[in-house]
Amino acid sequence: MARVRLEDITRRFSKSVAIADISFEVPDGEFWVLVGPSGCGKSTILRTIAGLDAATSGNLYIGDTLVNQIPARQRDVAMVFQNYALYPHMTVAENIAFGLKMRRADSNTLQERIETVAQILDIAHLLDRKPRQLSGGQQQRVALGRAIARQPQVFLLDEPLSNLDAQLRDGTRSELKQLHQRVGITTIYVTHDQVEAMTLADQIVILERGTIQQIGTPQSIYAQPQNRMVATFLGSPAMNILPVTYTGSGFAIAGQTIPCPAALQSKLVPRQQLDLGIRPEHLQISPDSGHLITEVSLSEPLGKETLVRVTLPSQRSLILNLQVSPHLNLRQGDRLPLTLDLTHLFLFDPGTGDRLYPKSY
Ligand SMILES: Nc1ncnc2c1ncn2[C@@H]1O[C@H](COP(=O)(O)OP(=O)(O)O)[C@@H](O)[C@H]1O
Ligand SMILES: [Mg+2]
């Protein structure tokens, strides 16, 4: 096992910069998740670590070794992709053994590793089958098995669950986490799915357009997002963003005013434009004295709760998310006064998206 350290890694393609000045260090044995929208550079980072792509500049260390010039097959990393690419003419056992055979493992070691891996991944009964005789989830487990069997220093996973249906994805996700708890190989996992990031990661690296937006534990990033992109990317339903104007005592939007906490008033300038952020769980329906009068546009029962989308009567393009009790029977057009929990308010710069408030934690 080994730590992985990226130092100012940049990858330029002829016309564009795919990733810029990427620096982070994954300590030995940790599980890190790189997350961000499609095209933000996740795969490029992973391929650079694997040695399948070369950085334009920057240094990459695995353990204490600078590996910039070391070819992929000598880096002792195993990578699993979204489309698992098993060898169709080989059995499951042969597929698992393949990487080991390439490394000239003796037959006792081979047999032992195949059995261990098959047991961990619950595929022992499938060892004699060919890939086409397996379900998608089983094939993906074999692909993971092939990577684990090699006992690499570092495990790289690029959206390994995105081809699985929802139920299988949830199951395999938990298995992956348990697997990591058992074998403890340093793992870097790429996904565009914020739920996978939140549930799997020791630390999350959030990327957008080739740059790191924030690094932190799932909890700290959720509670203390550094900018609007991070704030709206993590969390489902997403944080609500209201474009408001500061009046001197409140935040005006579409003819209504949300009160501004007293402690904050001295820090703002009248007529200042702000993006006000509030998570769905910090919006309450309050029949008496709501901060905002809204109107129900869609109600989606999820069983244990109902997801409601509301608009402002004079600005219907603005949609806010909230979660309500499943017992509330809301219909389109219903008038809904909302109170914001002002202790959980965020303010972002509408231009840069940087968090202005809270200023620090
Ligand atoms: N071989 C390539 N040639 C040119 N541009 C590329 C190449 N590979 C990736 N890119 C560009 O680099 C950016 C990041 O891509 P990628 O790392 O695949 O993103 P992600 O995995 O986050 O979806 C994208 O804009 C993509 O178009
Ligand atoms: Mg990708």
- Residue 340 is predicted with a pLDDT of 96
Angle 294-297-302 from CA coordinates, rounded to 5°:
110
Mean pLDDT by 10 residues, the chain (361 residues): 95 96 98 97 97 97 96 92 87 91 82 88 92 90 88 93 83 87 93 95 98 98 97 95 97 96 93 97 89 95 94 93 93 95 96 94 72
Nearest to 127 by CA among 103, 95, 88: 95
Predicted model pTM: 0.92
Kindly report the protein residue whose alpha carbon is nearest to atom 24 of ligand 1: 39
Pairing of the two strands 346-348 and 77-80: unpaired
Name the β-bridge partners of 320. Answer: 310
**Residues whose beta carbons lie less than 5 angstroms from ion ligand 2:** 43
Kindly list the structural domains of the chain, giving each domain's residue range(s) and its CATH number in brackets, ordered by start: 4-233 (3.40.50.300), 248-357 (2.40.50.140)
Structural contact between residues 34 and 194, judged by C-beta atoms closer than 8 angstroms: no
Kindly report the protein residue whose alpha carbon is nearest to atom 14 of ligand 1: 41
Q: Which atom of ligand 1 is nearest to the CA of 42?
A: 22
Nearest to 155 by CA among 137, 171, 179: 179
Looking at all shown ligands, the one closest to residue 38's CA atom is: 1
Looking at all shown ligands, the one closest to residue 12's CA atom is: 1
Structure tokens at 44: 């490029």
Structural contact between residues 237 and 321, judged by C-beta atoms closer than 8 angstroms: yes
Residue in this structure with the two tokens 């790189």, named with its chain if needed = 34
Pocket test for ligand 1, best of 16, 33, 48, 207 (most atoms within 8 A of CB): 16
- For residues 340 and 291, give the distance between their C-alpha atoms in angstroms, rounded to a whole number: 7
**Computed from CA positions of residues 294, 299, 300, 306, in that sequence, does the dihedral angle turn out positive or negative?**
positive
- Residue 84 is predicted with a pLDDT of 73
CA of 139 to the centre of ligand 2 (A): 20
- Residue 325 is predicted with a pLDDT of 93
Q: Which atom of ligand 1 is nearest to the CA of 36?
A: 22
Kindly report the protein residue whose alpha carbon is nearest to atom 6 of ligand 1: 13
How many helices and strands, by DSSP H and E, does the chain display? 9, 21
Count of beta carbons in the 10 Å neighbourhood of residue 213: 21
Render 42-77 in DSSP notation, one character per residue.
HHHHHHHHHTSS--SEEEEEETTEE-TTS-GGGS-E
- Residue 360 is predicted with a pLDDT of 81
Q: Is 151 left (phi over 0), alpha (psi -120 to 50) or beta?
A: left
Nearest to 144 by CA among 106, 182, 107: 182
CA of 282 to the centre of ligand 2 (A): 33
Angle 298-301-303 from CA coordinates, rounded to 5°:
165
Render 320-338 in DSSP notation, one character per residue.
EEEEE-TT----TT-EEEE
Looking at all shown ligands, the one closest to residue 40's CA atom is: 1
Task: Order across the sheet with 31-35: list the strands.
Answer: 77-80, 154-158, 186-191, 31-35, 203-208, 211-216
Count of beta carbons in the 10 Å neighbourhood of residue 285: 17
Kindly report the protein residue whose alpha carbon is nearest to atom 8 of ligand 1: 44
Contact residues of ligand 1, CB 6 A cut-off? 13, 16, 18, 36, 38-44
- For residues 361 and 347, give the distance between their C-alpha atoms in angstroms, rounded to a whole number: 14
Nearest to 268 by CA among 256, 251, 255: 251
